[in-house]
Amino acid sequence: MFRIGMLTSGGDCQALNAAMRGVVKGICSKIQDVEIYGFQEGYKGLIYSNFKMLTSRDFSGILTLGGTILGTSRQPFKMMRVPDEDGLDKVEAMKHTYHKLNLNCLVVLGGNGTHKTANMLREEGLNMMTLPKTIDNDLWGTDMTFGFQSAVDIATDTIDRIHTTATSHSRVFIIEVMGHKVGWVTLHAGIAGGADIILLPEIPYDIDVVVDAINKRKDAGKRFTIIAVAEGAISKEDAKLSKKELKAKQAQNSYPSVAYEISEKIQKKTDQEVRITVPGHTQRGGSPCAYDRVLSTRLGAAAAEAIIDGDFGNMVAVRNNEIVRVPLAEVAGRLKYVSPSADIIKEAKLTGISFGDA
């Protein structure tokens, strides 16, 4: 009997189910007797031994289904070594569940925090196999995470729709895009949606440059300006502050999010009407796009292959359109940022997009 545990952890995204389907179909095509333990709501299910026994049938018909059939939760890595309210040692509890069920391997689908915990469990001696999920695309070691392209499509659709109303009313529109501390979704959706200004955490903005770009468009007879803002975008002044100083400053302001802060700054410096749109969690919702269905299926099947090979302790990843195995020790704790000197930024600038930096 071959026993695998599986869990999805962190924020959900499109193609989680498609990826699990790929893993299960891949394993069941080669091994006859497989027991699948589906841990409920992320690492919580492993800690408290809350699981469902699943069969390959449970993974049929879920290729296009959004969310995760296992449920998910955020279990911050820094809290893993802190006992829970009943004094339970969570790391020991996870190891206990794994050994009690006599698992051959634990398959984990998640983003950055999830990978730190997965690597810790590997160091504790568990056979780990992970898959890179997150709309943010900020996981080091893979060119692309599944969920990212679907989120880009949704954010792009939002920008497309804003164009018509922005031009009708001659307004400046700020669309705030998810992405946590990185600007991948904003950059791609901004370019795809024809944004005039794109503000990313990796390129701190100068509000005077932003206002100048807006004014130039108005002077050229353009009826609107579209600004795609990453939720983690930061001004040049704030980028100079220490983490502590920034936290204190943010605690004092009353802006619900960065788009509101930028909107106020623009309205103080121009006579233009500004509106804000925040697509929020719609960017993580619904059915995966075709690209994510393909990527997650490939990654799932490749994870199955690695499991069958007995090659544990890796994340399956895509690099130059090839699926590779990357050691978890290399992935854990490393974020993948947009490089301000990347070709894509240079090319976007050549087409007239302002990044608010010069």
- The answer on whether 136 is annotated among ligand-binding residues is yes
Applying CB under 6 A, the residues found at the interface with ligand F6P are 11, 111, 134-136, 178-180, 231, 284
In angstroms, the CA 354 to CA 358 distance is 8
Shortest-Cβ-distance residue relative to ligand F6P: 178
Minimum gap (Å) between residue 55 Cβ and ligand F6P: 30
Give Cα 165 distance to the centre of its chain: 29
- Count CB-CB contacts under 10 A for residue 3: 16
Amino acid at 338: V
Minimum gap (Å) between residue 92 Cβ and ligand F6P: 27
Q: Are 197 and 226 in contact (CB under 8 A)?
A: yes
- The answer on whether 12 is annotated among ligand-binding residues is no
- The answer on whether 178 is annotated among ligand-binding residues is yes
Nearer to ligand F6P, 111 or 204 (CB): 111
Minimum gap (Å) between residue 89 Cβ and ligand F6P: 26
Minimum gap (Å) between residue 81 Cβ and ligand F6P: 22
Amino acid at 29: S
Nearer to ligand F6P, 125 or 280 (CB): 280
Minimum gap (Å) between residue 151 Cβ and ligand F6P: 8
Which residues are tagged catalytic? Answer: 136
Q: What DSSP string describes 28-73?
A: HHH-SSEEEEEETTTHHHHHTT-EEEE-GGGGTT-TT--S-TT---
- The answer on whether 283 is annotated among ligand-binding residues is yes
Q: Are 255 and 247 in contact (CB under 8 A)?
A: no
Percent helix, strand and coil across the chain, each to the nearest 5: 45, 20, 35
In angstroms, the CA 222 to CA 103 distance is 62
- The answer on whether 21 is annotated among ligand-binding residues is no
Using DSSP, state whether 256 is helix, strand or coil: coil
Please tell me what DSSP assigns to residue 339. P
- The answer on whether 110 is annotated among ligand-binding residues is no
Nearer to ligand F6P, 11 or 22 (CB): 11
Give Cα 44 distance to the centre of its chain: 20
In angstroms, the CA 210 to CA 283 distance is 25
Nearer to ligand F6P, 196 or 231 (CB): 231
Nearer to ligand F6P, 9 or 297 (CB): 9
Residues making up the binding site for Mg(2+): 112
- Would you list which residues are annotated within the binding site? 11, 74-75, 111-114, 134-136, 171, 178-180, 231, 275, 281-284
Q: Which residues are known binding-site members for ATP?
A: 11, 74-75, 111-114
Detail the residues annotated as belonging to a binding site for substrate: 134-136, 171, 178-180, 231, 275, 281-284
